[in-house]
Structure 1
């Protein structure tokens, strides 16, 4: 399958199952085509982006003894993963001139995002809420619409959103374990391990594509569009080892940990 066709199916299909369908055939990039930037992904009716503040907020950890609150959590996270998948498809279509190795790498990460979306949606359904029963927000998507280059994408999605998830996944793992929900905790741990690789991918390509005179930190900071900023790339409990595992330098990690709004 051509990468462009895969990206179009993910971004432009109104069928959720089609968006999340695993690709088993070999991928090629012989015809990346022209640049295409769509303002919103095509989604089924029950997953259309809701007006601001209409979507439920993430339940507090102390509320997760209630299975319905855990279902809401997984529903929100399924939408986060779906947005990340759609942003990656948008990036492939918006920047067809990107290096072929980068494009192939994005496809592999998209397979993880498809799996993560399925994991969260299946767990939400098991806990009583089908994916699409609640309104969903568009925060990740809207911020991605500010990306003007591949380096903007690398700074924004892998290094901010997925970087922040290095912390959130383990915070939620502990919250689920505290209410004896081993299955939900296992999902968060699996996603955490994947996120380390996703952040590593983003950092490696940032290093390849940034100007030589810029440090990793300078390139990261200069390619963020407000309100994205370094302080948004971390959660409540800072996971230093996960960031070391992703290839960040001690200096980069120190500056990230010390960053404030």
Structure 2
């Protein structure tokens, strides 16, 4: 009997809406791929939009309620927002592997499936913490802008790498350490440890992005800094601005010289 295709397995996870089921399915796809139980075959397209649960209610970013700063409710709201980011990140990583894996090859697939497994773990950790604090994922609205980057860059692997890992995930390297400090000052060491684990993993995720972006630039005979600036200008609906976590960015392959081309310093 022929092994199921990797593309069909990835698509099935992306079309799984219930959060716990999606986490389990994402982990299972990675396990089956590593065990050689999925064929390196891309015989179906990735969905334009992944399945989403009924809750949380998804709102435009401008319509999101303000989070209270310093209060326990504000910290729970922040954890909920981070849980949603990690939930969407599962599909972002899977989509990269399923959409661009045929052209980019096995190492690309291995890397982005490992990212999907990490994001599933991150979501599960935050969702469990929310329950410990008397809340749950879906208890509050979440913004619906996170998938825009995937739609905007669905046509080009270089654009996807330039925007998702090298801009959006890299931003987590800048802001999460400050969030860790905020939780530590509030005496919430458990949440702080979860967030520190996430930022440590994000360095590796961004490094995957910079490494594969450099490979694409080499294939296309393009300058990485110039192509990155062009793609960010064209496809990122925002501003790349300081403060930057220079040490984490350097570890992830984003030097100050690279940043100078895209950042509003």
TM-score over 0.5 (shorter chain) = yes
Does 2:126 correspond to 1:120?
yes
Aligned to 1:110: 116
Aligned to 1:201: 208
Following the alignment from structure 2 to structure 1, what is the Cα–Cα distance between the partners of residues 31 and 90? 19
Structure 2 runs not aligned, ≥5 long: none
Following the alignment from structure 1 to structure 2, what is the Cα–Cα distance between the partners of residues 197 and 3? 23
Helix, strand or coil for the counterpart of 2:59?
coil
Residues 64-83 of structure 1 show CA distances to partners (whole Å, capped at 9, x for unaligned) of 3x222111111111111111
Does 2:239 correspond to 1:238?
no
Q: CA RMSD in A?
A: 2.5
Aligned to 1:191: 198
Residues 230 and 86 from structure 1, CA distance in 2 versus in 1: closer, same or farther, beyond 3 angstroms? same
- Which of 135, 139, 144 aligns to 2:145? It is 139
Aligned to 2:222: 214
Following the alignment from structure 1 to structure 2, what is the Cα–Cα distance between the partners of residues 35 and 158? 24
Q: What is the CA distance between 1:187 and its match in structure 2?
A: 1.4
Residues 103-155 of structure 1 show CA distances to partners (whole Å, capped at 9, x for unaligned) of 12100010010011112212222222210111222212012201121111110
Structure 1 runs not aligned, ≥5 long: none
Following the alignment from structure 1 to structure 2, what is the Cα–Cα distance between the partners of residues 206 and 226? 16
TM-score by length of structure 2 reads: 0.85
TM-score by length of structure 1 reads: 0.86
Residues 208 and 225 from structure 1, CA distance in 2 versus in 1: closer, same or farther, beyond 3 angstroms? same
Does 2:23 correspond to 1:12?
no
Residues 100 and 25 from structure 1, CA distance in 2 versus in 1: closer, same or farther, beyond 3 angstroms? same
Helix, strand or coil for the counterpart of 1:110?
helix
